[in-house]
Structures are given as C-alpha cells and as structure tokens.
Chain A
C-alpha cells in the first residue's frame, strides 16, 4: 500500500513539472496556432544557463528561475517580433518548420559552446527527501512541483481575471472577432508568445535539477510535451495540467510495478488510447457550433 501511495505521490510531483513545461506550449498554440517545436530547445537552453550559473556561483538553480523567467520573456518577445510574426496567419505546418529551425540553431549553439555531454545541477538537497507519513518526497521534486503550482496558478489568474488574459483568450478563440472589439491582435500574440516562452524560464531551471540533459535532449522533451497537450486538448491550459498529471502517474506506476523501460512506452500508449475515444483530447470541448456545420 505504501508503495502505491509513494508511486502516486511521485507521479503527481512529476506530472506537475510536466504541466509547467507544457503550459507555455499550449498557450502559444491556443493563441496563435503556432506549434512551437523550439519549446523543448528553449527549456534545454535555460537548463544549460542555469547549470552553468549554479556551477560557477553556487546560486540555487530553482531560485535562478526568478532571473531566467524575465530573461526568457524578453527572448520570447524578440523571437516573435523578429521571426515568428513573419508567418502570422499562415498554416501551423509553417510554424513547425520555422520553430524546428530555431530548435536546431539553439542545439547547434549549445553543442559548440557547452559541449555534447550530459549535465545536471546537483544542489545540496539533490539527494535529500522529506518523510511524510512514511512516504518519501524527494526535495528537488517537491520544489519543482511547488514552482509549477505557482506558475500555473499565476497563469490561470492572469488569463481569467485580467483584461490582458481576456484579450489573449479572445484572440485564441476568434482573432477577427477580437480585432472587432478593439483588441490589437499583433500585440496580444507577441505577449502570449513571450508569456509562453517565459514559462521555460522556470521549467528549464527545474529541469536542470531533476533530469540530466544534453543539447539534443530537446527532441525527447518536445515529443513528450506535444503528447501532453494533444492528450489534454490543444490550446487548453486545464487540459495540459490534467494530461500532464495522467502521464506522470502512468509513467511512475509503470516504473514501479513494471519496468523503467516500459514507462516511456506507456506514456505514448495512454495518449493513443485516449485519442481513440476523444480525438479532440480530454479538454477539447465540443460546443453546439462545432457540430452545426
């Protein structure tokens, strides 16, 4: 029984971190129909910068996200204004090509500057755990999950309670309708891309502690994250959260009761099974207007 609870708690902690990493990706797709394949590479970029700063200065890697988040917000803004705005209004396929190019560029730069080796930030609490009712909670996982809850909570508040958030959601649902009520879609798109990229500031910092990485790790991460947002329903923040938790649990339970090798397979098997029954994903709702055509 304790083993099951332990696996469930670990699954939720991992799922929380996955949700953090997927939140920006789903936000960007929801608002701009951009499938940002570079999201994984941006996470790895942040992980490298965090690892390097930690190894030189000793500053806590997860705390570094306080600095990395605004830095990535700025980078996201610049990337949108300088590059992605040029394909505004084209098909999502075009965004895959363009952002794949960005991902390859980031990977190349990291290969040259940081070397093609596995890295991992290992702060003092790296191998420590909290014991709660006989359950072991790795401190790094707990801190990572707390950061995820904080970011997702903030994102939720911004999107649901502020005019900026309403403008972002309105643009995501109906861009020309949003323009007609006076929302400047270009500004909103840049803002949404910047916010989505800013989440990699926290996600990458957490990643640097929880998972060993090297420049090409972004392929693995982007496939997982795309899987999560497809499972949850493309563009849905709540879907990304639930999808991430389900996959985190599936992975941990498989690793606990099956084997580590099967845990990766189960991740994608769950996605396939869910999509067989809900092609729109878990939170991709079907409204009256969707079935009227």
Chain B
C-alpha cells in the first residue's frame, strides 16, 4: 500500500498540494483526475522523489519514501514515466532501455535477462533497438519509456498523462501495456486529463481538487457519479467500464471501493 499523509508540496510559489491524504491500494490501477492545477502531476513527482514535500510523509508498505531522492525511491521499487519527454534523444532505444536498469548495473547477467524480457514484452524495443530515441513518434516513445521503467520490475509504476498526444492505436497499445504490467502484480498510479480513458483503464479513481482529494471510489462508481459526469465527462454519467481481467479483483481491496459509492471528502 502506497500511503500519502498530510503532504504539502509546491514549487516555490506556494503549495500545490494542500495536506494531501491518499491511499493507493496494492495491485490496483489508481487513476487521479482533476482540473488543471489541481496538483495531479505534483503527486507523482512527490512520490518519485523529484519533488521533496514541505510537510507530510509518503510511505510504501510502511517504508518512508519521502526521505529519499529519485535513486532511493527507485531502489524501493517505484518508477515513474513523466508527462514530458523522458528519453535520452541522442541515444539508441537499446541504450535508453538499458539505462532503465542503471541501478542494477553491477549485475550484468540480471541486466541482460531483464532487457531480453522487456524486449520480448514490448516488440518495438527489439525492432528499433539501434534507432535514436529522438526519432520515435509520440506513441513509440511512450512504449519505450514504459519499457525503460519495467527494467527495474517496479512494484509501483507512476504514469503521468499516458494518453498525451497519442493516436487511438498507440493509445490502445499503451493502455494494454499498463494493464499487462498490472496483471503481473505492479501497482499503477496514473494521472490523466482524459478522464473517461483514465477511469476506464483504472480500478480505482481519485478526484483531486485544490491539492486535496475531493472524491475517491472504484473507477466504475466514479464514472457513474453525476457530479464527476457533469464536471469531467460532458454531462451524462458513464456506464461502469468492464473490469480489466485480474485488475478487477485488485480493485476490490481498495478501501474506498469497498463502500461501493463515491465518498466525498470536501
């Protein structure tokens, strides 16, 4: 369980996160939605160690993460795919993916094994291994970014706007990749502007407003919530999405989801 408690964090011009409390259930796909400036990406940056919280704690299964930098957080099994370009454009796809295993660099055998596994899972890694990353399309880049994260076999995968700038086909590929990673036991915390898409991928949903949790529930319940529908889905409540295979069971363990209804925290 990833637990964020009483976190205040920002970028120098005041706090974006205003005492955020959030529990991300293990094994689930949790999607954070909310308006621009609500602090969605900031949550991920705080968890990954890119941004130190001013106050509050971040814990993974009882281990404090907020005391570490990015390398330390990665060492605890938390990897992030950021919103903007995260690859090394002048390096080849192979080099990019191998660098995902930078923290494992002393174990050559393990590194090779992981690379082969990732290349098998995500074909573009093998197909374009010698191409420069800067020459990939947006969708291909996203695939390689996720591949790079999978090198450490993360227990928690943080995804910032995975749909940003992707065409429908790429989107399906990325979405499937996320579900596959989750089916393999990885907890996923994602942030998405495309609320319908984000919640349809997720098992658990959180609405963030003003740096705090405004609503949280099972993703399907959240999509059916009239308030969410009005604000983010263009009016009519959506039908609950078909749960994604094994992820449905994981959603059942979500604390807010157990209640069945969206719980308002405002």
Q: Are B95 and A181 touching (Cβ within 8 A)?
A: no
A285 — which chain B residues lie within 8 A by C-beta?
A: 90
Contact pattern, A 268-293, Cβ under 8 Å of B = 1, otherwise 0? 00000000000000000101111000
- Does A195 sit within 8 A of B, measured CB to CB? no
Write the chain A residue with the least CB distance to B48.
A180
Lowest 5 CB-CB distances: which A-B pairs, in order? A287-B134, A182-B71, A182-B103, A177-B86, A173-B88
Q: A163-B102, A181-B100, A184-B69 are in contact. Are A170 and B135 (CB under 8 A)?
A: no
A176, A182, A289: the one within 8 Å of B75 (CB): A182
Residues of A that sit less than 8 Å from B by CB = 163, 166-167, 169-170, 173-174, 176-184, 285, 287-290
Write the chain A residue with the least CB distance to B88.
A173
Q: Are A183 and B102 touching (Cβ within 8 A)?
A: yes
> A177 vs B160: C-alpha distance in the bound complex, in angstroms?
13
Q: Are B74 and A287 touching (Cβ within 8 A)?
A: no
Q: Of B22-30, B35-43, B77-85, B250-258, which stretch is located at the interface?
A: B77-85
Q: Are B79 and A180 touching (Cβ within 8 A)?
A: yes
Q: A163-B105, A183-B102 are in contact. Are A169 and B48 (CB under 8 A)?
A: no
> A180 vs B85: C-alpha distance in the bound complex, in angstroms?
12
A163 — which chain B residues lie within 8 A by C-beta?
A: 102, 105
Where chain B touches its partner, the secondary structure class is: mixed
Q: Are B134 and A174 touching (Cβ within 8 A)?
A: no
- In the assembled complex, 15 residue pairs joining A and B whose CB atoms fall closer than 8 Å, in A order, are A166-B95, A169-B90, A170-B88, A174-B86, A174-B87, A177-B88, A179-B70, A180-B80, A181-B102, A183-B99, A183-B102, A285-B90, A287-B132, A288-B137, A289-B141
Q: Are B134 and A288 touching (Cβ within 8 A)?
A: yes
B86 — which chain A residues lie within 8 A by C-beta?
A: 174, 176-177, 180
B70, B99, B103, B134: the one within 8 Å of A290 (CB): B134
A177 — which chain B residues lie within 8 A by C-beta?
A: 82, 85-88
Write the chain B residue with the least CB distance to A236.
B90
Shortest distance between the CB of B176 and any CB in chain A (Å): 23
B75 — which chain A residues lie within 8 A by C-beta?
A: 182
B137 — which chain A residues lie within 8 A by C-beta?
A: 288
Q: Could you tell me which residues of chain B, from 39 to 70, have a CB within 8 Å of some CB in chain A?
A: 48, 50, 69-70
> A166 vs B92: C-alpha distance in the bound complex, in angstroms?
12
Q: Are B99 and A181 touching (Cβ within 8 A)?
A: yes
Write the chain A residue with the least CB distance to B95.
A166
Residues of B that sit less than 8 Å from A by CB = 48, 50, 69-71, 74-75, 79-80, 82, 85-91, 95, 98-100, 102-103, 105, 132, 134-137, 141, 148
Write the chain B residue with the least CB distance to A163.
B105
> A173 vs B98: C-alpha distance in the bound complex, in angstroms?
16
Q: Are B134 and A170 touching (Cβ within 8 A)?
A: no
Q: Are B90 and A180 touching (Cβ within 8 A)?
A: no
B136 — which chain A residues lie within 8 A by C-beta?
A: 288-289
> A249 vs B6: C-alpha distance in the bound complex, in angstroms?
65
> A288 vs B48: C-alpha distance in the bound complex, in angstroms?
29
Q: Are A173 and B48 touching (Cβ within 8 A)?
A: no
Q: With A166-B99, A173-B90, A183-B71 given, can you name 16 additional A-B contacts, CB distance below 8 Å?
A: A163-B102, A166-B91, A167-B102, A169-B88, A170-B88, A173-B89, A177-B85, A178-B99, A179-B69, A179-B71, A180-B82, A181-B74, A181-B100, A181-B148, A287-B90, A290-B134
B80 — which chain A residues lie within 8 A by C-beta?
A: 180
B91 — which chain A residues lie within 8 A by C-beta?
A: 166, 169-170, 173
Most-contacted residue by chain B among A173, A176, A181, A287 (CB, 10 A): A181
Write the chain A residue with the least CB distance to B85.
A289
B74, B132, B141: the one within 8 Å of A182 (CB): B74
A174, A288, A290: the one within 8 Å of B88 (CB): A174
Shortest distance between the CB of B159 and any CB in chain A (Å): 12
B100 — which chain A residues lie within 8 A by C-beta?
A: 181
Q: A173-B90, A176-B50 are in contact. Are A182 and B134 (CB under 8 A)?
A: no
Q: Are A287 and B89 touching (Cβ within 8 A)?
A: yes
B99 — which chain A residues lie within 8 A by C-beta?
A: 166, 170, 178, 181, 183
B89 — which chain A residues lie within 8 A by C-beta?
A: 173-174, 287, 289
> A170 vs B88: C-alpha distance in the bound complex, in angstroms?
6
B85 — which chain A residues lie within 8 A by C-beta?
A: 174, 177, 289
> A184 vs B49: C-alpha distance in the bound complex, in angstroms?
12
Q: Are B88 and A180 touching (Cβ within 8 A)?
A: no
Shortest distance between the CB of A208 and any CB in chain B (Å): 35
Shortest distance between the CB of A209 and any CB in chain B (Å): 36
Q: Are B70 and A288 touching (Cβ within 8 A)?
A: no
B88 — which chain A residues lie within 8 A by C-beta?
A: 169-170, 173-174, 177-178
B141 — which chain A residues lie within 8 A by C-beta?
A: 289
A180 — which chain B residues lie within 8 A by C-beta?
A: 48, 50, 70, 74, 79-80, 82, 86
Q: A182-B70, A182-B103 are in contact. Are A289 and B134 (CB under 8 A)?
A: yes
